[in-house]
């Protein structure tokens, strides 16, 4: 072999040849005038601003609303690839729900010794308040956003399971909407599976898990921390699309053993609450007493079976990064099958041997906080300076069980439309999964996040990442 | 509808109305100071007073220079009634109640905020003022047009109208209150140049100089001006008009929700008072007292609506 590519590029085989899923797109792209595309790209940005598709960045001035940069080159997934991926996701998500039920009831998996007891008993994501509670419909994770990365033709890995309150689905929908408006001709030439049913499916999925007392059509509402939350746009977008109320903690109170919202005509009972507030903030009486975002007493209403909370409290134990390393075993334990999707090799720093290895190889590894998210508090070894490595090593030694480490993955790249033409950038994928007693629904595609900086492996929007429309081709 | 949403809609339109009223005051002040007044400072001072920001202005400046007043009223973010603050508040409320608004209305508000934030980034030079005031007016007109053309006529619409006319009535009443002495027959030097300037300022502050002339010809008497602003329900900024729209939308709510609330009694009482009055009985009772009472009642109705429809918990 004369030249070796370090990364797997999903589109380009060489400078003038593309992989099969991109063949049709390439024909169109080759005939496009780059200046027209630049103009379109600016139009898209203006559209996002006008529509207010922005997110707030924590730690910046309150008025700061930023756009997530949108790249107009789609990420294209072949039908065959998607079929396998979605099977793997479905398997994993079913296992997660079975695991959650088990862990809050008989704990068979601990008795079987598949997952060590102390990993649960000493885990702050484990909610004792959920022991013995069976959520309506026995669904724990109504909404999941499984983060997937790819390193080669057939190499897909699950990076995170995101079983709490995954965000980003509004970008998936708006990205497609934008592409449809900018390049309608593409969609008549290339058959792309639609994503626009997501809000309808979400509404149905939530309504399929009503609490026992509810006989008619359940009243659904979305609970948001408020307009300053980074994902507020998404909360209001989904409420709007589903035609349900967008409530905040101060709109709600316990009335006669139910959760009710203050309306212009008095208090009205809510049956299903899609909360976008973390467990910790959900109920100041049962959890963090400082929280102004939640509803005092909602956990008691929940435990009494008078409201459905989606996702159920306590699901964080399933996407905990220390639990993650056991996920292949968990899948096998509950489904009796081998996990279809691979896990990334993970060193649990709580184990002395692993810690020693991690400290020795810090410059090659990615180290994450067990409960962290959003790319905060993580170390990307190859990109870190000597000083950063040293200070992180100190943190690791001080509190090893707070960290896990993984090899730096060779994330696949997809080109972005840059000033000087196509430029490869690393991507990941977050498909959105809906779980109801009737089954599991996965929207074809999902949100592709892309690191806009050349060489960067961090795709989080809070760290300068962008997004792409994600296409799953029809057969 | 959530009580909070009703409150958000109400305040969104109060603030939009406020931004437009502030711009209109600046416009009137600018014109009069430029063309008619021998004492521009006192003209600007009364603009600041009418805008209800006299105290905060005086805390910041010690004279009434046109540039300072214009800056304070248009782009000072420490002044909660400035155009930029009011638009910002309107937009924050719109974000909060976004699910209740059509895309057109939301985009009109959002664009107005984006546009004016850009326009008002730098101090406004005198030569640009007319164009900028025009831009503020156009943005508001777009929001109103989007409302008219795209919103369902339901409780959502009612709360926006209620917010709008309550703010508007308060504004018109305050304009009369600040200048009431120039409208008193006893104090007037009828037909003198000075009075004409004062009356014209009043009319321009509510964009009524043309409609007044259209209805009354050149017959500009204090009684005619006062009557027009208070009792003429054809004029969309008169107290009578605002009161009528308020009653109308509150009665829709009563019908929609199938229940009358205490605010309905308050608005009925106000309507009755306005209907029974003529301009001469108002002058007999005292214009100042009449206006002060109106402002108080108007505020009381606003507070009652907030309570009746559970804007806050």
Closest CA to B204 of B23, B18, B17: B23
Phi and psi for A407 in degrees, rounded to 5? -65, 155
- Residue A68's pLDDT is 84
B134 and B167 together in one domain: no
Chain A residues closer than 8 Å to B155 by CB: 264
Phi and psi for B185 in degrees, rounded to 5? -60, -40
- Asked if pLDDT for residue A293 goes beyond 80, the answer is yes
- Residue A5's pLDDT is 47
- pLDDT band at A322; cut points 50, 70, 90: confident
- Residue A57's pLDDT is 57
Does residue A7 belong to any structural domain of this protein? no
| Candidate from B2, B155, B259 with C-beta closest to A262 | B2
- Asked if pLDDT for residue B164 goes beyond 90, the answer is yes
CB A292 within 8 A of CB A280: no
What's the rounded mean pLDDT across residues A421-427? Answer: 93
A237 and A379 together in one domain: no
Question: What gap in Å lies between CA A197 and CA A169, rounded to an integer?
Answer: 12
- Asked if pLDDT for residue A63 goes beyond 70, the answer is no
A280 and A300 together in one domain: yes
By the CB < 8 Å criterion, does B304 face chain A? no
- Of A372, A389, A407, the domain-final residue: A407
- Asked if pLDDT for residue A56 goes beyond 80, the answer is no
B160 and B302 together in one domain: yes
- Of B118, B151, B184, the domain-final residue: B151
A135 or A409: whose pLDDT is higher? A135
B268 and B130 together in one domain: no
Q: Least CA distance to A52: which residue of chain B? A: B110
> Are the beta carbons of B3 and A264 separated by less than 8 Å?
yes
- pLDDT band at B9; cut points 50, 70, 90: very high
| Candidate from A50, A245, A264 with C-beta closest to B6 | A264
Question: What gap in Å lies between CA A45 and CA B116, rounded to an integer?
Answer: 19
Question: What gap in Å lies between CA A66 and CA B134, rounded to an integer?
Answer: 29
A329 and A425 together in one domain: yes
B90 and B54 together in one domain: yes
Question: How far is the CA of A316 from the CAs of A161, A405, B229, B269, in angstroms?
Answer: 10, 19, 63, 58
Q: Least CA distance to A227: which residue of chain B? A: B96
Percent of chain A surpassing pLDDT 90: 73
Mind listing the pLDDT tens digit for each residue in B168-186? 999 999 999 887 777 776 6
A172 and A64 together in one domain: yes
Chain A residues closer than 8 Å to B110 by CB: 50-52
| Candidate from B98, B110, B313 with C-beta closest to A262 | B313
Closest CA to A386 of A405, A363, A419: A363
Chain A residues closer than 8 Å to B260 by CB: none
Question: What gap in Å lies between CA B72 and CA A221, rounded to an integer?
Answer: 42
Does residue A246 belong to any structural domain of this protein? yes
- Asked if pLDDT for residue A380 goes beyond 90, the answer is no
Chain B residues closer than 8 Å to A240 by CB: 98-99
What's the rounded mean pLDDT across residues A330-334? Answer: 97
Q: Least CA distance to A237: which residue of chain B? A: B99
B275 and B139 together in one domain: no
Question: What gap in Å lies between CA B106 and CA A50, rounded to an integer?
Answer: 9
Does residue A293 belong to any structural domain of this protein? yes
B88 and B202 together in one domain: no
- Asked if pLDDT for residue A462 goes beyond 80, the answer is no
- What length is written for chain A? 475
How many structural domains are present in chain A?
2
B9 or A43: whose pLDDT is higher? B9
| Candidate from B2, B253, B259 with C-beta closest to A263 | B2
Chain B residues closer than 8 Å to A181 by CB: none
Tokens of A342: 């691979």
Q: Least CA distance to B308: which residue of chain A? A: A264
Give the position of tokens 């691979």: A342
Chain B residues closer than 8 Å to A251 by CB: 2-4, 313
A139 and A277 together in one domain: yes
B185 and B143 together in one domain: no
Tokens of A445: 């595609």
Tokens of A469: 């429309």
- How far is B310 from chain A, CA to nearest CA, in Å? 6
Chain A residues closer than 8 Å to B309 by CB: 264
- Residue A260's pLDDT is 97
> Are the beta carbons of B310 and A264 separated by less than 8 Å?
yes
Residue A17: helix, strand or coil by DSSP?
strand
* Chain A, chain B: beta-carbon pairs less than 8 Å apart: 57
> For residue A357, what is the domain's CATH number?
3.30.1490.270
A354: containing domain: 345-407
- Of B151, B173, B195, the domain-final residue: B151
- Residue A61's pLDDT is 47
A165 and A129 together in one domain: yes
A455 or B77: whose pLDDT is higher? B77
- Of A407, A424, A444, the domain-final residue: A407
What is the Cα gyration radius of chain A? 23
| Candidate from B3, B98, B107 with C-beta closest to A236 | B98
Mind listing the pLDDT tens digit for each residue in B118-149? 999 999 998 999 999 999 999 999 999 999 99
Contacts of A334 (CB under 8 A, 6+ apart): A94, A95, A98, A99, A102, A109
- Of B125, B151, B177, the domain-final residue: B151
Q: In whole numbers, what is the pLDDT of chain B averaged over residues?
A: 91
Question: How far is the CA of B218 from the CAs of A59, A75, B176, B191, B214, in angstroms?
Answer: 61, 71, 20, 11, 9
Mind listing the pLDDT tens digit for each residue in A96-134? 999 999 999 999 999 999 999 988 988 888 999 999 999
- Asked if pLDDT for residue B193 goes beyond 90, the answer is no
Closest CA to B162 of B3, B66, B306: B306
> Are the beta carbons of A251 and B2 separated by less than 8 Å?
yes
A268 and A295 together in one domain: yes
Chain B residues closer than 8 Å to A224 by CB: none
ipTM value? 0.85
> Are the beta carbons of B310 and A49 separated by less than 8 Å?
no
- Asked if pLDDT for residue A64 goes beyond 70, the answer is no
By the CB < 8 Å criterion, does B3 face chain A? yes
Contacts of B236 (CB under 8 A, 6+ apart): none
B65 and B200 together in one domain: no
Query: Which site among B92, B98, B308 would you substitute to test the A interface, given the most A Cβ atoms closer than 10 Å to its Cβ?
Result: B98
> Are the beta carbons of A227 and B99 separated by less than 8 Å?
no
Does residue A257 belong to any structural domain of this protein? yes
- Of A388, A407, A426, the domain-final residue: A407
Percent of chain B surpassing pLDDT 90: 75
Question: What gap in Å lies between CA B66 and CA A254, rounded to an integer?
Answer: 55
Question: What gap in Å lies between CA B155 and CA A264, rounded to an integer?
Answer: 9
B140 and B173 together in one domain: no
Q: Find the DSSP H helices in A226-342.
A: 232-242, 279-282, 298-303, 316-319, 321-324, 327-335
A250 and A304 together in one domain: yes
Mind listing the pLDDT tens digit for each residue in B227-269? 999 999 999 999 999 999 999 999 999 999 999 999 999 999 9
CB A272 within 8 A of CB A219: yes
> Are the beta carbons of A262 and B257 separated by less than 8 Å?
no
Residue A451: helix, strand or coil by DSSP?
strand
A42 and A64 together in one domain: yes
- pLDDT band at A421; cut points 50, 70, 90: confident
- Residue B55's pLDDT is 94
B264 and B312 together in one domain: yes
Query: Which site among B84, B99, B157, B313 would you substitute to test the A interface, given the most A Cβ atoms closer than 10 Å to its Cβ?
Result: B99
Which of B174-188 are b and which e, b meaning 16 or more Cβ less than 10 Å from the residue's Cβ?
bbbbbbbebbeeeeb
A258 and A403 together in one domain: no
- How far is A253 from chain B, CA to nearest CA, in Å? 10
What's the rounded mean pLDDT across residues B147-164? Answer: 96
Q: Least CA distance to B254: which residue of chain A? A: A265
By the CB < 8 Å criterion, does A248 face chain B? yes
B288: containing domain: 153-313
Q: Least CA distance to A250: which residue of chain B? A: B313
A261 and A372 together in one domain: no
Chain B residues closer than 8 Å to A261 by CB: 2
Q: How far is CA B76 from the centre of its chain?
A: 19
- Asked if pLDDT for residue B12 goes beyond 90, the answer is yes
Residue A183: helix, strand or coil by DSSP?
coil
B128 and B176 together in one domain: no
- How far is A206 from chain B, CA to nearest CA, in Å? 19
* CA pseudo-torsion sign B242, B248, B249, B251: positive
Helices B3-35, B66-74: crossing angle, 10 deg rounding = 160
By the CB < 8 Å criterion, does B255 face chain A? no
- How far is B267 from chain A, CA to nearest CA, in Å? 19
How many structural domains are present in chain B?
2
> Are the beta carbons of B257 and A239 separated by less than 8 Å?
no
Q: What is the enclosing helix (H) or strand (E) of A3? A: none
Percent of chain B surpassing pLDDT 70: 96
**A272-275 and A308-310 beta bridge pairing:** parallel
Chain B residues closer than 8 Å to A245 by CB: 2, 5, 99
Q: Least CA distance to A266: which residue of chain B? A: B310
Which of A251-268 are b and which e, b meaning 16 or more Cβ less than 10 Å from the residue's Cβ?
bbbbeeebbbbbbbbebb
> Are the beta carbons of B4 and A266 separated by less than 8 Å?
no
> Are the beta carbons of A264 and B257 separated by less than 8 Å?
yes
By the CB < 8 Å criterion, does A263 face chain B? yes
Write the DSSP string, chain B: -BHHHHHHHHHHHHHHHHHHHHHHHHHHHHHHHHHT-S-HHHHHHHHHHHTT-HHHHHHH-SS--HHHHHHHHHT-TTSTTSHHHHHHHHHHHHHHTGGGS-HHHHHHHHHHHHHHHHHTTSPPPGGGHHHHHHHHHHHHHHHHHHHHHH--SSHHHHHHHHHHHHHHHHHHHHHHHHHHHHH-TTT--TT-HHHHHHHHHHHHHTT-HHHHHHHHTT---HHHHHHHHHH-TTSTTSHHHHHHHHHHHHHHHHHHHT---HHHHHHHHHHHHHHH--HHHHHHH-HHHHHHHHHHHHHHHHHHHHHHTTS--
- Reported as half-sphere exposure (CB side, CA atoms, 13 A), residue A20 has a value of 9
- pLDDT band at B7; cut points 50, 70, 90: very high
Q: Least CA distance to B311: which residue of chain A? A: A264
Question: What gap in Å lies between CA B225 and CA B179, rounded to an integer?
Answer: 12
Contacts of A279 (CB under 8 A, 6+ apart): A127, A164, A287, A313, A314, A316
| Candidate from B92, B99, B259 with C-beta closest to A246 | B99
| Candidate from B3, B155, B257 with C-beta closest to A262 | B3
CB A426 within 8 A of CB A412: yes
Does residue A5 belong to any structural domain of this protein? no
By the CB < 8 Å criterion, does B193 face chain A? no
Tokens of A158: 């699950």
- Residue A3's pLDDT is 36
Chain B residues closer than 8 Å to A49 by CB: 114
Chain B residues closer than 8 Å to A246 by CB: 99
A243: burial class by Cβ within 10 Å (0-12, 13-18, 19+)?
Answer: exposed
Query: Which site among A46, A51, A52, A177 would you substitute to test the B interface, given the most B Cβ atoms closer than 10 Å to its Cβ?
Result: A52
Tokens of A397: 């030694």
What's the rounded mean pLDDT across residues A213-218? Answer: 91
- How far is B87 from chain A, CA to nearest CA, in Å? 14
- pLDDT band at B192; cut points 50, 70, 90: low
Q: Classify B217 in phi/psi space as left (phi over 0), alpha (psi -120 to 50) or beta.
A: left
Does residue A43 belong to any structural domain of this protein? yes
- Residue A58's pLDDT is 55
Q: How far is CA A357 from the centre of its chain?
A: 29
CB A225 within 8 A of CB A276: yes
A414 and A356 together in one domain: no
- pLDDT band at A307; cut points 50, 70, 90: very high
Chain A residues closer than 8 Å to B1 by CB: 263-264
């Amino acid at each position: 072999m004369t030249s070796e590519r370090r990364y797997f590029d999903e589109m380009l085989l060489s400078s003038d040849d593309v992989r099969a899923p991109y063949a049709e797109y390439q024909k169109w792209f080759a005939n496009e005038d780059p200046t027209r595309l630049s103009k379109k790209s600016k139009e898209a940005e203006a559209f996002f601003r006008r529509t207010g598709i922005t997110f707030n960045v924590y730690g910046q001035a309150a008025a700061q609303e930023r756009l997530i940069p949108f790249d107009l080159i789609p990420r294209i997934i072949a039908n065959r690839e998607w079929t396998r991926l979605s099977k793997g996701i479905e398997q994993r998500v079913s296992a997660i729900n079975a695991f959650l039920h088990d862990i809050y009831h008989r704990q068979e998996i601990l008795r079987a010794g598949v997952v060590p007891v102390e990993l649960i008993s000493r885990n702050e994501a484990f909610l004792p308040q959920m022991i013995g509670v069976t959520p309506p419909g026995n669904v724990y994770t109504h909404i999941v956003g499984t983060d997937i990365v790819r390193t080669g033709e057939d190499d897909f890995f699950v990076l995170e399971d995101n079983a709490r309150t995954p965000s980003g689905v509004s970008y998936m929908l708006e990205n497609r909407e934008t592409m449809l408006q900018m390049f309608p001709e593409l969609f008549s030439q290339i058959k792309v599976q639609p994503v626009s049913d997501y809000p309808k499916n979400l509404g149905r999925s939530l309504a399929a898990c009503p609490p026992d007392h509810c006989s008619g059509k359940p009243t659904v509402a979305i609970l948001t921390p408020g307009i300053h939350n980074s994902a507020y746009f998404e909360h209001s977008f989904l409420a709007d699309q589903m035609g349900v109320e967008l409530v905040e903690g101060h709109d709600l109170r316990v009335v006669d053993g139910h959760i009710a919202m203050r309306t212009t005509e008095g208090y009205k009972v809510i049956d299903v609450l899609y909360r976008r507030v973390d467990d910790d903030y959900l109920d100041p009486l049962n959890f963090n007493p400082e929280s102004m975002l939640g509803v005092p007493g909602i956990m008691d209403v929940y435990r009494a079976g008078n409201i459905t909370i989606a996702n159920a409290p306590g699901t964080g134990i399933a996407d905990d990064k220390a639990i993650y390393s056991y996920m292949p075993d968990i899948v096998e334990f509950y489904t009796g099958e081998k996990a279809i999707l691979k896990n990334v090799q993970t060193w649990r720093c709580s184990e002395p041997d692993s810690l020693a290895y991690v400290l020795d190889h810090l410059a090659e590894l990615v180290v994450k906080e067990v409960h962290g998210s959003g790319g905060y508090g993580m170390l990307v070894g190859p990109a870190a300076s000597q000083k950063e490595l040293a200070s992180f090593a100190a943190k690791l030694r001080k509190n090893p069980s707070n960290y896990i480490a993984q090899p730096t993955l060779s994330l696949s790249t997809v080109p972005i439309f840059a000033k000087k033409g196509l430029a490869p950038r690393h991507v990941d994928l977050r498909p959105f999964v809906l779980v109801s007693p009737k089954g599991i629904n996965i929207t074809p595609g999902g949100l592709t996040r892309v690191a806009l900086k050349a060489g960067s492996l961090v795709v989080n929007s809070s760290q300068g990442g962008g997004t792409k429309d994600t296409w799953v081709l029809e057969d | 509808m959530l009580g909070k949403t009703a409150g958000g809609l109400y305040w969104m339109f109060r603030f939009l109305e406020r931004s437009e009223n502030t711009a209109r005051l600046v416009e009137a002040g600018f014109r009069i100071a430029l063309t008619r007044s021998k004492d521009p400072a006192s003209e600007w001072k009364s603009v600041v007073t009418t805008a209800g920001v006299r105290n905060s202005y005086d805390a910041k400046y010690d004279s009434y220079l046109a540039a300072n007043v214009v800056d304070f009223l248009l782009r000072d973010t420490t002044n909660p009634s400035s155009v930029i603050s009011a638009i910002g508040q309107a937009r924050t409320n719109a974000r909060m109640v976004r699910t209740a608004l059509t895309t057109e209305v939301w985009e009109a508000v959002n664009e107005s905020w984006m546009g004016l934030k850009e326009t008002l980034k730098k101090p406004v030079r005198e030569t640009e003022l007319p164009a900028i005031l025009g831009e503020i007016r156009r943005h508001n007109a777009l929001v109103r047009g989007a409302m008219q053309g795209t919103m369902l006529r339901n409780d959502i619409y009612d709360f926006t109208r209620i917010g709008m006319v309550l703010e508007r009535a308060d504004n018109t009443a305050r304009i009369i209150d600040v200048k009431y002495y120039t409208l008193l027959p006893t104090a007037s030097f009828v037909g003198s140049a000075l009075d004409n300037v004062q009356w014209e300022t009043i009319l321009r502050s509510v964009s009524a100089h043309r409609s007044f002339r259209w209805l009354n010809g050149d017959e500009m008497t204090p009684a005619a001006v006062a009557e027009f602003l208070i009792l003429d329900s054809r004029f969309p900024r008169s107290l009578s008009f605002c009161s009528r729209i308020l009653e109308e939308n509150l009665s829709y709510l009563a019908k929609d929700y199938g229940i009358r609330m205490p605010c309905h009694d308050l608005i009925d009482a106000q309507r009755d008072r306005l209907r029974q009055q003529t301009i001469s009985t108002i002058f007999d009772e005292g214009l100042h007292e009449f206006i002060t009472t109106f402002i108080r009642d108007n505020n009381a109705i606003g507070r009652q609506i907030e309570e009746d429809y559970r804007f806050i918990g």
